Structure 1
Amino acid sequence: MQNSTPPPSQKSALGHIRVLDLSRVLAGPWCSQNLADLGAEVIKIERPSGGDDTRQWGPPYLRDADGNNTSEAAYYLCANRGKRAITVDISTPQGQEIIRELAKQSDVVIENYKVDQLKKYGLDYASLKQVKTDLIYCSITGFGQTGPYAHRAGYDFIIQGMGGLMSLTGERDELAGGGPQKAGVAITDLMTGMYATVAILAALSHRDRCGEGQYIDMALLDVQVAMLANMGSNYLTSGNAPKRWGNAHPNIVPYQSFTTSDSHIIVAAGNDAQYQKFVQIGGMPELADDDRFISNPLRVKHRDLLVPILADMVRRKSKQEWIDSLESAGVPCGPINNLEEVFQDPQVIARQLQRELPHPTAGSVPLVANPIRMSATPIEYQNPPPLLSEHTTTCLRDLLHFDDEKIAKLKRDGII
């Protein structure tokens, strides 16, 4: 059967690509949402009873015009815009056949089931490659398809610990509140989704040149270790494991957060001149000439003496007073904003990072924009995160040419 992907859109980078998305929760859906934002047709496959787990991961939930909670949790909304939603019970032979037929007409399959779980359904790469020889198939798991941990379930929080990120994040052990901390968002899931997006785009480029599909094995642990970046390189070069520094910097002082009279700021004085301006603005010019603090190496050496003095100095002014005076003097600084302040920030507003899309039950849904800016094929925000099974009938009718009687029987039998 020929791929029935619609003709490429002139305004969409991936308008010629169809993605069959069997993933749920965050890493896989984040990847497929990236592809949808870039114009790909993404068909999200969910189980008939409940769908993607994140639909129920609330509160908060999206509210309708009367202020009542809908069935869509905010967590689900963050990673599923632009997709079409189908419910299929893949544990049944009929459901498996539907997935095979859809895979036949797709360019990419994404899944995040446990290792070998889809093999028993005939929906693994080796099986689907038989019906679509140039298929690109991306599996996302906690630990990958090989190795002693391959069959373990992988969760972002656990991987942040195992992969070293939490050893670098958090206040120093000897200070109050010290100890390892996870990041405030599921950063390993998100980065795995981003790496998976890159891998799929590379595989599509290879397929278009050579006509060959391929299998992509993505693991959260692999991604977490890779994204240690300079810290990983520091360890491999020196043999010394880096320690936590909280919001401070191991090699620059002052380069950290401070509490103001009403909030918090970050001061990043990367050279002596910037440090001198900082303490002058703070009304303590004598600190600029103090022999113990006159150069950055000396400030690093005496940080435990200097930082408490600077902290007392910063508390004397408000966040905005510090930002205004430091920016005008050319001292790198910034506020630590809560999310209300983030979405009210003039730069965030100017860049249109909050978007509203029409929603069938809530009227509209607020979403965060994709940060990719492309001149010839810009991101188009057309469809909100779909309701559970919203497109089951239309997709089966349009793509697989099922008639109304067959669709009705599949619904009665609980297959869709």
Structure 2
Amino acid sequence: MIPYGRQSISQADIDAVVEVLKSDFLTQGPVVPRFEQAVADYCGAQFGVAVNSGTAALHIACLALGVGPGDWVWTSPISFVASANCALYCGAQVDFVDIEPDTGNMCAVELERKLVIAKREGKLPKVVIPVHFAGLPCDMQELHRLGQEYGFRIIEDACHALGARYHGEPTGNGRYSDITVFSFHPVKIITTGEGGMAMTNDPALAKTMRLLRSHGITREPEDFINEPDGPWYYEQQMLGFNYRMTDIQAALGLSQMENLENWIAKRGEIARRYFETLSPERLPRYFSTERRSAFHLYVHHVTPEQRRDIFQKLREHGIGANVHYMPIYKQPWHQTCHAIPQSHADQFYAGAVTLPLFPGLMKQQQGELFNQILTDQS
């Protein structure tokens, strides 16, 4: 079966992991900060805080921004559930902003409309989490402008978007947000097996997130609250978590960074062939100088009446079709949250079919894909 996404692992990746396995450090040793610095340098950010998943990065990002009971966090309904769960972990309430119908990204116009109402009702969000769906950056300039006007903080959920660019600048540089979060799950742009990273330009936020990822514990004498009683002394200064990334994972990620631009280019070539064959009218939006997608996913749209049959036939022919995503507010756990009546999110989901997209997808395989899809749609 051709999967919808899969990792690319080279001998250099394997050698990097083996080198760590032979070293003195398996958990948090010297490779984790090297990986953090490599991603920060690539993005143009001051700090990277590596953790064991993108979900963990979202959670500590919310906590670092002071999200707690009584607060509102708004995000996109077209995303994995972690984009909303991270706020619920903090005791906050979640609401959703409808999407742009052609991209799946949070719609700035809908956000502003909701903000006007929320201000009148005294329910403005503390944090807004736009999701760069499928790797295409949101309209961050406009979201940042609204953040300045209405006083909310911004966490970019860029779990799909390492390698994306907005107005020529890398996603993750923090120009329009407080924190940006990446994921390194195997189907993402690069992988560490499982893993994530939070990027920021704020040293206080970086320091807080580093504490939160490791039980809230510090061993740095200059940060101690009490007088140490010996060289063995450490302090727990907040309620943190075991969200640490290992040196094994970081070694894989550091090696994978060497191929990032090459993989982004390959994903772009594959996506362009999809658009040219299946949705040429969407080409300008996805291949503009304003926003460069990382092309984590390619979501093809069919009619709701066609989707089940097309999905099943693709699977029967060994094509690992998937669907991204059911609106989060439709999940049983989230049905107490606010749904969006007659939403673009519902319409987007109703006809969405995710087709295979990963650097190792061969042109011949994609040709076979086209034949099957066009046959099924006719």
TM, length-normalised to structure 1: 0.26
Q: Which has the larger radius of gyration?
A: 1
Q: Which has the higher contact order (CA 8 A, sep 6+)?
A: 2
